[in-house]
Amino acid sequence: MDNITVQKLSQLHAEEIANDWKYNGIYRFYDSTEDIEDYKELISSDERGDQYFEVLENGKLVGYFVIDELEFGVFNYGLGMKPDLTGQGRGNWFINTTLDYIIENYHVNKITLSVAIFNERAIKCYEKVGFIKDDEFDMKTNGSTFRFINMYKDIKSI
């Protein structure tokens, strides 16, 4: 790919993601404005802390990710790609770019994530880069209860 930069999420880009990124159809679920708690965390530099990162390609924002160390070497991971870049076969590239950054900059043994069960497109991407399905659970979010699946990737085995 072209010139890729991964860095701490800027306030300008956090506000762009929170206010302007709007997904189509069922993926509206991922609009930051759909969940007030997620929205507040995203736009507050204090709440984001050092856990949110942006991915730039040739200086333009293509996505972001967030990591949270659950215990030593185990990180929970979440991500978002710019809406007009989704569905174009770039998911694996984006996930691998973010995982490479995490692995290069943190002591990582395992990465976990949760994804809405209806998001088959994302689940396929995660599986292609080596994530394994684990358990399912219900979570209250976006004003209702949704079914999610936990997935994980052992990094030691790489």
Tokens representing 157 are: 């085995």
The answer to whether residue 72 sits within a structural domain is yes
Q: In which band, very low, low, confident or very high, does the pLDDT at 144 lie, cut at 50, 70 and 90?
A: confident
CA gap 92, 85 in Å, rounded: 12
- What pLDDT, on a 0 to 100 scale, did the predictor assign at position 107? 93
Please determine, for residue 1, whether its predicted confidence score (pLDDT) is greater than 70. no
CATH number, domain at 65?
Answer: 3.40.630.30
pTM: 0.91
- Distance, first Cα to last Cα, the chain: 22
Asked whether 65 and 78 are in contact (CB, 8 A), the reply is: yes
Domain count within the chain: 1
Query: Residue 138: inside a domain, yes or no?
Result: no
Q: Inform me whether the pLDDT recorded for 158 exceeds 60.
A: no
Task: State which residues form the domain around 83.
Answer: 4-113
